[in-house]
Amino acid sequence: MRQGTKTGAGRFASGVFAQGCALICAGVAVAAADSTNRLALLEQKLNNHVRCASSGREDGADVMAFNIARSFSSAECAAVTLDGYPANFIVEAGVAAAYMHRKDWTNAIAHGELALAFRSGEGMGGAPERASRLLLDLARAYSSAAVRRYDKADDYREWARELDPHNAQIAQTLALDDVARARRNGREDEAEHILRAAIAAHGFAKRIVYQELGNQLWDTRRGRDAFAMWLAQLKDVRLDFHEDSKELGIDNLRKTMTLADEALLLQCAAVLRALPARYPATLKFAPFIGELQSIANDPRIEDELLMRTAAHEYTPAMEQALRAFMATHKPVPGRVFLYLGDNLCARGRPDEAIDMWLEGMAAPGHRAGDDGADWFAARIIDQFAKASSAQVSRCVFYLERQCAGQAPARMRLGLGEQLERLGQPDRALRLWCDALAAQPRPYLQTQNGDWFMMKLDARLATMTPQQKAHYADIIGAQIEKWRTNSLYHTVVPLLDAKRTSLLR
Amino acid sequence: MRWHSKVIILVVINWMACAPAVMTNTALFARVAPITQALRAEVWTTVVARSSAALDKNAAQLHMPLLDAVPLGYYLNLWQGQALRHAGNAVIDAPSALRAAEAWLYQGDRNMACSGAWAELYYEMGQTYRGIGRLYDAERYLQASAAMAATLTQTWLRARLGLVSVDMRRSRYRPAFVAMTNVWAKPALRTKEVHYLYAMTLLSQRRDMDAYDALVAGLTRFGVAPRLAERDPLYRAFLDLLGRASDAHIKAFYAVLGVQLETMALRAGAEHTAALFINQRTILAQCYPYLQHEDDLRPLAERATGAGSGGDDMTFGGGDELLDDVAIEEL
């Protein structure tokens, strides 16, 4: 037999051997593949449970997730890899996530660190996002109130950033962490800058980034900007077909609607109106589309828009619209009277305008603003020269009866002057005396003293002795009010001298 | 034998010697035809059932080459894995089936096994792993698939698009955008999926107008797949970020839905899609006052009635579903 040739039996034997080897190899390969698949399945279940537990959808899901992870931690799969990571890394990272959910930071850190140790033993291969996610979790655990190891947390954040530099989602999560740190250090400006940069960066900005920035603007009393940001969020961010208006942040818009200007309100109305069209028109989404349509048709937006337009548009059509609004809305908001009065005044009907403002003043809910400004009063005073005696009387009536003690000083000063002009100086003096008496203390706005006292002092020559005595009594009462004030020793001698001179 | 007969015999022998690279086994093809039909129709449960049955019943023929010396067993396992990915346990069963397909390639004649089979298998593996979140594994297999497939072929393109999808899932938008820009540069490759992915990468780069141009172009060219209806990627992408679209794009979208409604085949099973188009157009017209609301239901009903008297397959199934869905108009 020549070398290199085989008999039939030899060929058969070598064939059997080769097939046997192939079967054994295939068996080993299949077993390893099955373990990997089982690991993948368990990981998927684990993630689902942790997700359910995080969103509060399933009671005890975190315990279940924990048990699943624990049950899988066996030696049989020590050599199995998934996504480039050993099974132990996957399991320990899962356990850490479960502990994170329970806010058991110490155990979360322990298992997270263990997972990292498995990972470093396997080299740097694998999906970077898995390691980055674990590092971010660990950073959160380290920066928790219970642990407070901020230096370690910062190290892990940097590590996560280096591991996956192109990942926009991780960049946004890191940005939110940076914002929290900046706020912790009292650097609100830096936090705002980081959030704005995260929104402007490439990728799909998360809804929470917009909401964080909106909240910050709201907290810093920039209501209009906050409204604009919440609106931008609704417009720019992917819907992902969420079916909850709270998740979409519509409530924030409704809450701050009164702070927006006309342009923003118009934009808001357009965005809300278009919202139902952003969902597939199927039966599944029908209820939510209906809800969105009712939100878009919310009359408050239209009303706000009407008010914004009425503030600057003085046309007959607007007058009609405002009157129609008054007919359908009870009680009528004060600003409707204000804008309608402005409208009439601007179109050469001051008489009707004053009536309208007076009506606004008389409205049940009307109060002067916190800062003492009363827009009705200001407007009526501006037009006092054109007011009839009946209107002045009405104004006095409201001030004396309804708005006693609340009417702003400027209103009372102007009204007194108007009463003098109409030949009722005694009434004017009584008004100013009452105003002076109603004040907590005489204001010292000018070098000469209080505005009302100036008015009264200027008319001392025409005052009757009874009026002077009344004026002196008021000053006496004011001196008592000053007793508890630190300026007592400066002011009281002046007031006392004035009272003495009046009684002389 | 005459000389010309000899010439003919020589020509035939020569032709047989230079047979085309694609050799098929006609008898086996006839046997797997029902599976391939179900595969084309994407009736995944049927594919799973038939491929499993074929694997059980034809054990003796599994090693026989079906196409290009690739054994029948490979194809059955590949199709089974593909179907399980869509309608089965994608975590355990689909990878197992694909592993079995891989084993067939190893057992077969490696010299004869064409690279297309490997590229196809790796593509399926990549997509399966992408679906279950094993993105690193998915990337590796899709890269292997793209490397093994002939450049600019459909398999190559699908693998490239799969890689872009993986990048998008990993929020790595910039590399995805660069890759899609390269694909978009070749007009012959602009499939529906290319339009979708290119638009999404453009949106991620805040190039909203270009993105909506791509979406409108895709919808105009390919339309909304009636089979997918509201799950059509272009349709969903357009709606999801509608807030960033211009008025012109919204008008175009509205018109595309109208045209598709006018031209769609009115056969049983199409009610849902028709109702979707009608309702979507109605809601769009309600939300955007500049769109001219048209009565879509009447012409469609007329068409259905007219066609119904003409032939069986041109009528709607029952009509109840259409009416139910159209009830959304009342919202």
DSSP string covering B256-308:
HHHHHHHHS---TT-HHHHHHHHHHHHHHHHH-TTS-----HHHHHHHHHHHH
Q: How far apart are CA A399 and CA A411, in angstroms?
A: 9
Q: Do B242 and A278 count as a contact with CB atoms less than 8 A apart?
A: yes
Q: Looking at residue B313, what is its pLDDT?
A: 44
Nearest CB to A281; choose among B96, B135, B276: B276
Average predicted confidence (pLDDT) for chain A = 79
**Closest to B331 (Cα-Cα) out of A294, A239, A302:** A294
Q: Do A167 and B171 count as a contact with CB atoms less than 8 A apart?
A: yes
Residue of A nearest to B278 (CA): A281
Candidates B130, B142, B171, partner chain A, best to mutate (most A CBs within 10 A): B171
Q: What is the pLDDT of residues B196-235, one digit of tens each?
A: 999 999 999 989 999 999 999 999 999 888 888 888 999 9
pLDDT at A315 over 60: yes
Residue of A nearest to B202 (CA): A203
Radius of gyration of chain B (CA): 24
Mean pLDDT for A100-126 is 79
Q: Looking at residue A305, what is its pLDDT?
A: 85
Q: What is the pLDDT of residues A129-168, one digit of tens each?
A: 888 989 999 999 998 888 888 899 989 999 998 888 888 8
Pairing of strands B70-71, B65-67: antiparallel
Q: Looking at residue B83, what is its pLDDT?
A: 93
Q: Which of A263-267, A273-277, A477-481, B122-126 has the lowest mean pLDDT?
A: A477-481
pLDDT at A91 over 90: no
Q: Looking at residue B320, what is its pLDDT?
A: 38
Residues of B in contact with A22 (CB under 8 A): 107
Residues of A in contact with B132 (CB under 8 A): 40, 44
Q: Do A22 and B170 count as a contact with CB atoms less than 8 A apart?
A: no
Q: What is the pLDDT of residues B246-292, one digit of tens each?
A: 999 999 999 999 999 888 888 777 888 888 999 999 999 999 989 98
pLDDT at B312 over 50: no
Q: What is the pLDDT of residues B145-204, one digit of tens each?
A: 998 888 888 889 999 999 999 999 988 999 999 999 999 999 999 999 999 999 999 999
Residues of B in contact with A239 (CB under 8 A): 239-241
Q: How far apart are CA A21 and CA A19, in angstroms?
A: 5
Amino acid at A486: S
Q: Looking at residue B194, what is its pLDDT?
A: 95
* Between residues A28 and A300, the one the model is more confident about: A300
* Angle, CA A425 vertex, CA A420 and CA A426 arms, to 5°: 150
Mean pLDDT for B85-92 is 83
Q: Looking at residue A21, what is its pLDDT?
A: 45
pLDDT at A304 over 60: yes
Q: How far apart are CA B121 and CA B261, in angstroms?
A: 38
Query: What is the end-to-end Cα distance of chain A in Å, rounded?
Result: 154
pLDDT at B15 over 60: no
Q: Looking at residue A65, what is its pLDDT?
A: 63
Mean pLDDT for A473-490 is 79
Share of chain B above pLDDT 90, in %: 41
**Helix, strand, coil in percent for chain B, rounding step 5:** 75, 0, 25
Mean pLDDT for B121-148 is 91
pLDDT at A205 over 60: yes
* Segment holding B67, helix H or strand E: strand B65-67
Q: How far apart are CA B161 and CA B183, in angstroms?
A: 9
Q: Looking at residue A97, what is its pLDDT?
A: 84
Question: Measuring CA to CA, how many Å separate A409 from each of A21, A372, A398?
Answer: 104, 8, 14
Q: Looking at residue A340, what is its pLDDT?
A: 92
Residues of B in contact with A33 (CB under 8 A): 95-96, 99
Cα–chain center distance at B256: 21
Nearest CB to B240; choose among A129, A235, A238: A238
Residue of B nearest to A293 (CA): B331
Q: Do A22 and B325 count as a contact with CB atoms less than 8 A apart?
A: no
* Between residues B63 and B279, the one the model is more confident about: B279
Q: Looking at residue A32, what is its pLDDT?
A: 55
Q: Looking at residue A16, what is its pLDDT?
A: 43
| Tokens 């995260």, residue located | A198
- ipTM higher than threshold 0.85: no
pLDDT band at A124 (very low <50, low <70, confident <90, very high): low
Q: How far apart are CA A139 and CA A439, in angstroms?
A: 59
C-alpha distance from A172 to closest chain B C-alpha (Å): 11
C-alpha distance from B20 to closest chain A C-alpha (Å): 32
Q: Looking at residue B152, what is its pLDDT?
A: 83
Cα–chain center distance at A70: 42
* Segment holding A264, helix H or strand E: helix A262-274
Amino acid at A447: Q
Q: How far apart are CA A309 and CA A322, in angstroms?
A: 11
* Between residues A61 and B325, the one the model is more confident about: A61
Q: Do B282 and A281 count as a contact with CB atoms less than 8 A apart?
A: yes
Q: A-B interface: how many C-beta pairs under 8 angstroms?
A: 136
B123 contacts B141 by C-beta, under 8 angstroms: yes
Q: Which of A179-193, A487-501, B15-29 has the lowest mean pLDDT?
A: B15-29
* Between residues A191 and A127, the one the model is more confident about: A191
Q: Which of A231-240, A361-370, A446-455, A462-471 has the lowest mean pLDDT?
A: A361-370
Q: What is the DSSP string of A398-447?
A: IIIIISTTTS-HHHHHHHHHHHHHTT-HHHHHHHHHHHHHHSSS----BT
Q: What is the pLDDT of residues A16-29, one digit of tens each?
A: 444 444 444 444 44
Nearest CB to A38; choose among B92, B133, B230: B92
Task: For residue A468, give every residue at least 6 positions away whose Cβ sits within 8 Å of its Cβ, in sequence order, or none.
Answer: A460, A502, A503
A105 contacts A144 by C-beta, under 8 angstroms: yes
C-alpha distance from B137 to closest chain A C-alpha (Å): 5
The two three-digit tokens of residue A289, written as one number: 């589309």
pLDDT band at B314 (very low <50, low <70, confident <90, very high): very low
Q: Looking at residue A318, what is its pLDDT?
A: 93
Share of chain B above pLDDT 70, in %: 84
A368 contacts A374 by C-beta, under 8 angstroms: yes
Q: Looking at residue B22, what is its pLDDT?
A: 46
Residue of A nearest to B247 (CA): A274
Q: How far apart are CA A153 and CA A172, in angstroms?
A: 16
Residue A449 forms beta bridges with which residues? A446
* Between residues A443 and B260, the one the model is more confident about: B260
* Between residues A64 and B174, the one the model is more confident about: B174
Mean pLDDT for A204-222 is 89
pTM above 0.80, yes or no: no
